[in-house]
Amino acid sequence: MKKLLFFALMVSSSLMSNAQTVPLLDRDLFFGNPEIAGGQISPDGKYITFMKEHQGIMNIFIKGFDEPFEKARPITDSKRPLYGYFWTYDSKYILYVKDNDGDENMNVFAVDPNAKSAGGPLPVSRNLTPMKNVAAQIFLVSKKNPDIMYVGLNDRDPAWHDLYELSISTGKTKLLYKNTERITGFDFDWNETMRAMSKTDEKGNTILYKVGEGNKLTPIYDFNVQESAYITGWTEDNKNCYFVSNKGDLDKSVLFMMDWETSTLTEVERDPMNKVDFGGAIFDSETHKFVGSSYTVDKTVNYWKDDYYKNLYAYLESQFPGKEVSVQSATRDKSKMLIATSGDRFASELHLYDASTKKLTFQYTSRPALKAVEQYLAPMQPITYKSSDGLEIPAYLTLPVGIDPKNLPVVMLIHGGPKGPRDSWGYDPEAQFLANRGYAVLQPNFRASGGYGKKFLNAGDGQWGLLMQDDITWGVKYLVEKGIADKNRVAIMGGSYGGYATLAGLAFTPDLYACGVDIVGPSNIFTLLESVPAYWESGRAFLYGMVGDPNTEAGKKRIREASPLFSADKIVKPLLIIQGANDPRVKQAEADQIVVALRDKGKQVAYLLAKDEGHGFAKPLNKKAMYAEVEQFLASVLKGRAQTDMKEDVAKQLELIKVDVKQVQYAPTEK
């Protein structure tokens, strides 16, 4: 523990304010690899797997159920972070997904943890979808035949995924459905029978079809590009489906029961407070009974329909007061469960729950060094404020610990998307990192953020750089009016759409911010739309609805007005741009363009470019180097605290990804 405290409490005394009693916490606490994470128990209960660092990257380790964690052995040696892993139902294979240096062309891998290695120290991982420039999608992993999974592959047509049956043991595929009709979804019931498909037309309208004999399709439901609807599960007898929709006069989405014969909808449930969309249906993994629902307003709340789950969660929550509790993994018979606990100021932990005895046994703390300094982490407070047109904006405010919350430097931390994602309550490494450096952090769920209803979601259409930006601007004004913010020391920072909002904030409200950090944000919406991945074709009308149709004069005008590149001359404050060279969504050209434009106008711009990253930095060394630069950049402008020391490997990596802006070349397309 002394070593952990020494590691955690690295303090730069030259930068510590006398008024600040909280030590400067090391960057590794927030952005280094966790010591252990992602614990799962095999369905048969014989093994526990988890993620742990192996050769610098989080890989999968395995141990016997009764073995100590120290006895665990690695079973993968990936050089690229995985996007997740899971067991097959028969506990024979572990499946995981990863791409190539951030290109998001996902391949599905299988490893038999009990197989003997082929001359190496680890069992062989087999790539089940070994195709270049193909983004595999997993639709179903069978329980009836655990060697079978149903996947979508866009090898024939990059824009559309055909449906295949894939054998895990052999890697052989069998074409089940050739997608020549803009199919965007396949739905299977609990018996693993394909019951429905959905098609999306060029205008973004979607039709749900019932699948009959010989794949005969019968339309049963339709909705437009500004609405959403989907099957979320089936009744225990597979007769009818649970269906979520916000079609027509509905603002907040509602859970319905759909009669499969007549397509008649009967309302089952909606948010009791009418504040948010239906959040999620929870089904028992074995009986398929509908046992609960969830909604996220400020925090997530579960409503249990089943006494077993109601009593289980009541007991677990009583054991971990003040924390959010969830069943992370369980055996088929639910006799053993891995229980995850978390919170805004807590390092996540995992406990084993024995259902027969109700005994909880501690397994691990994901970041033990962080746990050692939890008293210095800052609470995340839900707040609301009004935007320029009176729309109420929900947000989360994190204030630094140990400082009077007056006249503080501020970082507006803007989430990506924009249409669908939202910020939520819980541990946020960026917010905690910035708060520890002395910044107040505001995370606004601006219009177009998901979960608050159809009207709020679609209120962002055509409002990039306008009302959507006002939602952020008025957040700054709120903090200034409350006396929290020093109006001369406000930064804006974010990734993806948050990166766009950073550029837009500096370009369209140049006096508001002292500086900005753009992480994989688009600068020119024309080139953004021209370069989206082919398999996003079904969402093109959705994108045009948000930003404007480049095929119309009105759309071209709106896009040009909203693109920060064409207002680069108005950017007068320092800017740090961070980009992955393999980003398939916001390509490197988006960063290069704005760098060249600002450089040529003599503006202050810095540039980090990682050759082995995509839409955000996933590799821990790149991530640590990035945040080392971010905190130095913010401290130089906002006068917050910064860790001055840097480990040798991080320093070397930072030099590798730093770009001499004088060398950047780009010839922008005239519009």
User: Is the N-terminal amide bond of 321 cis, ω within 30° of 0?
Assistant: no
- Which residue among the candidates 344, 583, 592, 612 is catalytic per the annotation? 583
Residues 6+ apart with CB under 8 A from 526: 550, 559, 560, 563, 669, 671
Above 50 in pLDDT, residue 6?
no
Q: What percent of the chain is predicted at pLDDT more than 70?
A: 96
Winning range, highest mean pLDDT, from 15-29, 120-134, 614-628: 614-628
Catalytic residue of the set 496, 523, 563, 567: 496
Contact yes or no for 439/408 (Cβ under 8 A):
yes
Residues 6+ apart with CB under 8 A from 579: 520, 586, 588, 590, 591, 607, 608, 609, 610
In this prediction, residues 318-342 reach a mean pLDDT of: 97
Quote the mean pLDDT of the chain. 95
Q: Widest CA span of the chain, in angstroms?
A: 76
User: How far is residue 56's CA from residue 79's CA, in Å, rounded to a whole number?
Assistant: 8
Distances in whole angstroms, Cα of residue 37 to Cα of each of 9, 48, 61, 82, 348: 23, 12, 10, 12, 9
Q: Is the pLDDT of residue 53 over 90?
A: yes
Say how far apart CA 145 and CA 111 lie, in whole Å.
Answer: 17
**Residue 121's pLDDT band (boundaries 50, 70, 90)?**
confident
pLDDT band at 20 (very low <50, low <70, confident <90, very high): low
**Which of helix, strand or coil describes residue 396?**
strand
Report the alpha-carbon distance of residue 335 to residue 331 in Å, rounded: 6
pLDDT tens string 476-528 = 999 999 999 999 999 999 999 999 999 999 999 999 999 999 999 999 999 99
pLDDT at 4 over 80: no
Identity at 516, one-letter amino acid code = G
- Which of 538-555 are b and which e, b meaning 16 or more Cβ less than 10 Å from the residue's Cβ? bbbbbbbbbbbbbeeeeb
Verify whether residue 615 is a known catalytic residue. yes
Write down the residue that tokens 């924390």 correspond to: 323
In this predicted model, what pLDDT tens digit does every residue of 212-264 receive, in sequence order?
998 899 999 999 999 999 999 999 999 999 999 999 999 999 999 999 999 99
Are residues 349 and 366 in contact, defined by beta-carbon separation less than 8 angstroms?
yes
pLDDT in tens, 72-100: 999 999 999 999 999 999 999 999 999 99
Better pLDDT: 180 or 12: 180
Please determine, for residue 546, whether its predicted confidence score (pLDDT) is greater than 50. Answer: yes
Cα distance between residue 10 and residue 3, in whole Å: 11
Catalytic residue among 54, 161, 415, 615: 615
Give tens-digit pLDDT for 431-448.
Answer: 999 999 999 999 999 999
Give the tens place of pLDDT for each residue, 550-599: 999 999 999 999 999 999 999 999 999 999 999 999 999 999 999 999 99
In this predicted structure, what is the pLDDT of residue 166? 98
Phi-psi region of 470 (alpha: psi -120 to 50; beta: other; left: phi over 0): alpha
Active site residue 518: no
Distances (CA, A) of 430 to 176, 365, 485: 44, 20, 19
Burial class (CB in 10 A: 0-12, 13-18, 19+), 322: exposed
| Residue 12 predicted with pLDDT over 70 | no
Closest CA to 241 of 303, 294, 306, 189: 189
pLDDT digits (tens, 9 = 90+) for 263-284: 999 999 999 999 999 999 999 9
pLDDT for res 220 = 97
H or E stretch including 210? strand 206-211
Position 119 scores a pLDDT of 63
| pLDDT at position 3 over 70 | no
∠ CA 180-184-185, rounded to 5°: 115
Whether the per-residue pLDDT at 668 is higher than 70: the answer is no
DSSP per-residue codes, 17-47 = -TT--SPPPPTHHHHSPPSSEEEEE-TTSSE
Question: Facing residues of 296 across strands?
Answer: 300
| Burial status of residue 665 (CB atoms within 10 A of its CB: 0-12, 13-18, 19 or more) | exposed
**Whole-prediction pTM:** 0.95
Concatenating the DSSP letter of every residue in 281-329 gives EEE-TTT--EEEEEEESSSEEEEE-SHHHHHHHHHHHHHSTTSEEEEEE
Half-sphere exposure of 223 (CA within 13 A, CB side): 19
Annotated catalytic residue 660: no
pLDDT above 60: residue 8? no
Phi, psi (deg, nearest 5) at residue 97 = -130, 135
| Short-list 596, 617, 584, CA closest to 660 | 596
Question: Can you list the domains of the chain with their CATH numbers?
Answer: 35-180 (2.120.10.30), 380-663 (3.40.50.1820)
Nearest CA among 409, 493, 401, 431 for reference residue 24: 401
Q: Nearest 5°: CA angle at 502, between 499 and 506? A: 150
